[in-house]
Structure 1
Amino acid sequence: MDRLRISEIFFSLQGETRTVGLPTVFVRLTGCPLRCQYCDTAYAFQGGTWYNLEAILAEVRQYNARYVTVTGGEPLAQKPCLKLLQCLCDDGYEVSLETSGALDVSLVDPRVIKVVDIKTPGSGEVEKNNWQNIRSLLPHDQIKFVICNEADYEWAKSIIAQYDLNSVCQILFSPSYQQVLPGDLADWILRDRLAVRFQIQLHKYLWGDVAGR
């Protein structure tokens, strides 16, 4: 029987991506092979509770929501995550996967919206990026860059040009919380006429660093 180690399942407003502000069920898997310096979910590196797939689906159903986000940690570090994503899609949810981009996404159900976080130099984990993942992205997917400083911004611009990312899917730029002023990042985007979507972590402004929100 497929089992997954889960840190938490909770109901909140989506804080990022194109469904920002919409009520969403979050399934946070335990474990991550990366250690980004700005990580706000280090509590999900260890611990958690083992669930079988049906128990996860049963808990998700109780919220009667349309949107489900599978996150971590790094959810793809647990192989049964692929089956969970498929089951959630089969249940009729609009499913998104938040992944670091360090692990292969090619086997993810094509119905899932993959939100791939390309790691900038400021993250401390830039060498973990799996550039082959770009080939597996579909138009409904999203690429996210968390910008820690202006050097990260310039680096992200160069990556967009190098891989022609604007022709792949939507691109998101997010200021690293309390490291880059949101207004500064917005100004850089406007100055350069950059074809990206600016976003902030809505949940941080509503509830701060409270886990499970």
Structure 2
Amino acid sequence: MASEVPLERMDSVRTDRADRVRITEIFHSLQGESRTVGLPTVFVRLTGCPLRCVYCDTEYAFHGGEWLSLGAVCDTVAAYGARHVTVTGGEPLAQFNADRLIHALADAGHEVSVETSGAMDISVLDERIVRVMDIKTPGSGEVERNRWENLTLLRPQDQIKFVICDRADYEWSRELLQREALNERCEVLFSPEHQRMQPSALADWVLEDRLPVRFQVQLHKYIWGDVPGR
């Protein structure tokens, strides 16, 4: 398993409680995953992540970024005129002030979702937003980082996402789904890891076992490939 990597937090943000967040990018695209797949969405990608999943496709967001005030972020998002906003990373909840940004976006009238690794406490999130929370499988290399306490905080409007790397990952995920009755908590998403898992194989397994999950692929990668900011 990958060793734990500390997040660069910039101590000044914690000590002076500056009204800002560190942003890798803000862009307008089609939602590629989750319940709102295909809908025009503004993505706010925060910088930094304490995990190192073996299949990560946003390593460019681990470091760097630009400090922006919460107001500047909200103004940039508003300029796109989109109803849906997704706050993502990296791991957005590892960054100080992320919860305040999410609250501000909801206050502005957007339908906000947050994509989180499941390793951070989701209780800090505004009740108006949708949590799209990963459960890290053994194939991710970060299974020990799952914060199981988060399961009790999930609501029907939230979503759990499994990224499946192989048959062993599938069986592990299926057993957890059934043991914890995860589909009774919220919608459950099964996704093939696009470089290791044939989508058709995962789809067949889901159908054979009659699992109560939503099968999904990353729509944006079928349209644009592995292009940052799409």
The normalised TM-score by structure 2 is 0.92
Give 5+ residue unaligned stretches, structure 2. Answer: 1-17
Q: Deviations over 1:97-119 (max 9, x none)?
A: 00000000011001110000100
Residue 207 of structure 1 aligns with an amino acid whose one-letter code is: W
Which of 204, 207, 227 aligns to 1:187? It is 204
Match among 76, 86, 91 for residue 59 of structure 1: 76
Matched, 1:25 2:45: no
Give the deviation of 1:163 after TM superposition.
Answer: 1.6
Selected match of 1:144 from 154, 157, 161: 161
Query: Is it true that 1:209 corresponds to 2:202 in the alignment?
Result: no
**How much does 1:89 deviate?**
0.8
Give the aligned partner of residue 168 of structure 1: 185
User: 124, 145, 151: which one pairs with 1:128?
Assistant: 145
Aligned counterparts of 1:159 and 1:73: Cα–Cα separation in 2:
25
TM-superposed CA distance for 1:178, in Å, is 1.7
Name the residue aligned to 1:95: 112
Match of 1:41 among 48, 55, 58: 58
Q: CA offsets, 1:3-57, max 9 Å, x none? A: 1100000000000001000000000000000000000000000000000100000
C-alpha distance in 1 between matches for 2:168 and 2:68: 42
1:15 to 9, 20, 32: 32
* Rounded Cα–Cα distance in structure 2 between residues aligned with 1:78 and 1:43: 16
Separation in structure 1 between the aligned mates of residue 61 and residue 31 of structure 2, nearest angstrom: 19
User: Structure 1 CA distance, aligned partners of 2:187 and 2:75?
Assistant: 32
Q: Distance in 2 between matches of 1:36 and 1:198?
A: 21
Letter in 2 for 1:53: L
2:51 and 2:79 map into 1 onto residues whose CA distance is 32
Identity %: 64
Rounded Cα–Cα distance in structure 2 between residues aligned with 1:81 and 1:143: 20
Amino acid at match of 1:126: V
- What is the root-mean-square deviation of aligned Cα atoms in Å? 0.6
Cα distance in 1 for residues equivalent to 2:45 and 2:216? 21
* 3-state secondary structure, aligned to 1:155: helix
CA distance in 1, matches of 2:127, 2:176: 24
